[in-house]
Amino acid sequence: MFTAFFYTLKAHQLPVTLTEWLALLEAMRQGFAGNSLVSFYYLARSLLVKSESFYDQYDLAFKEYFGGLEVPEALFDELLQWLSEETLKRHREGIDLSALPTYDWQTLEKMFRERLAEQKERHDGGHRWIGTGGTSPFGHGGVHPGGIRVGGESGNLSAVKIATARQFRDYRKDLILDTRQIKVALKKLRQLRRTGTRLELDIDSSIRETCKNAGEIELVFHPERKNDIKLLLLMDAGGSMLPYARLVNRLFSAANSINHFRDFQYYYFHNCIYDYLRTSMVAGERVATAHLLHILDSSYKVIIVGDASMAPYELFMENGIIDYYDRNETAGIDWLERLAAHFRHIVWLNPTPPKYWQHPTVSAIGRVFPMFHLSLAGLEAAIQELIRPAH
Closest CA to 335 of 286, 387, 293: 293
Q: Give the Cβ contact number of residue 200 at 10 Å.
A: 11
228-387 CATH fold: Rossmann fold (3.40.50)
Q: Does 112 or 311 have the greater pLDDT score?
A: 311
What is the model's pLDDT at position 128?
A: 60
What is the mean predicted confidence (pLDDT) over 354-360?
A: 92
Question: Which helix (H) or strand (E) segment is 144 a member of?
Answer: none
Query: Residue 232: pLDDT band by 50, 70, 90 thresholds?
Result: very high
Q: Give the Cβ contact number of residue 2 at 10 Å.
A: 15
Question: Which helix (H) or strand (E) segment is 195 a member of?
Answer: strand 192-201
**Residues ≥6 apart with Cβ < 8 Å to 13:** 57
What is the mean predicted confidence (pLDDT) over 296-312?
A: 93
For 293, what's the count of Cα atoms within 13 Å in the CB-facing half-sphere?
17
Q: Does 9 or 139 have the greater pLDDT score?
A: 9
Q: Which of 59-73, 149-163, 304-318, 374-388 has the highest mean pLDDT?
A: 304-318
Question: Which helix (H) or strand (E) segment is 24 a member of?
Answer: helix 18-29
Query: Could you give the dihedral angle defined by the CA atoms of residues 327, 315, 241 and 263, in that order, rounded to the nearest 10 degrees?
Result: -80
User: Chain centroid to CA 288: how far?
Assistant: 37
Lowest mean pLDDT among 28-37, 46-55, 184-193, 224-233: 184-193
Burial class (CB within 10 angstroms; exposed 0-12, middle 13-18, buried 19+) of 369: buried
What is the model's pLDDT at position 263?
A: 87
What is the model's pLDDT at position 154?
A: 40
**Is pLDDT at 194 greater than 50 in this prediction?**
no
DSSP state of 371: E
What is the model's pLDDT at position 226?
A: 58
What's the sign of the alpha-carbon dihedral 293, 276, 385, 368?
Answer: negative
**Is pLDDT at 231 greater than 80 in this prediction?**
yes
**Is pLDDT at 40 greater than 80 in this prediction?**
yes
Q: How far is CA 249 from CA 170, 180, 266, in A?
A: 21, 13, 12
> Can you name the residues that pair with 132 across neighbouring β-strands?
124, 140
Question: 208: phi > 0 → left, psi -120 to 50 → alpha, else beta; which?
Answer: alpha
Query: Residue 157: pLDDT band by 50, 70, 90 thresholds?
Result: very low
Within the chain, all domains assigned CATH 3.40.50 are found at 228-387
What is the model's pLDDT at position 13?
A: 84
Query: Residue 186: pLDDT band by 50, 70, 90 thresholds?
Result: confident
Alpha-carbon span 126 to 90, nearest angstrom: 9
Closest CA to 299 of 155, 174, 193: 193
Alpha-carbon span 93 to 91, nearest angstrom: 6
Lowest mean pLDDT among 78-82, 106-110, 257-261: 78-82
Alpha-carbon span 114 to 70, nearest angstrom: 14
What is the model's pLDDT at position 99?
A: 63
**Is pLDDT at 52 greater than 90 in this prediction?**
no
pLDDT tens per residue across span 86-145 = 444 444 555 555 666 665 655 666 666 676 666 655 555 555 655 555 565 554 545 555
Q: pTM for this one?
A: 0.52
What is the model's pLDDT at position 110?
A: 67
Query: Residue 367: pLDDT band by 50, 70, 90 thresholds?
Result: very high
What is the mean predicted confidence (pLDDT) over 3-9?
A: 87
What's the sign of the alpha-carbon dihedral 350, 352, 357, 362?
Answer: negative
Q: How far is CA 198 from CA 159, 169, 224, 266, 303, in A?
A: 60, 45, 6, 29, 31
Closest CA to 290 of 235, 320, 330, 325: 330
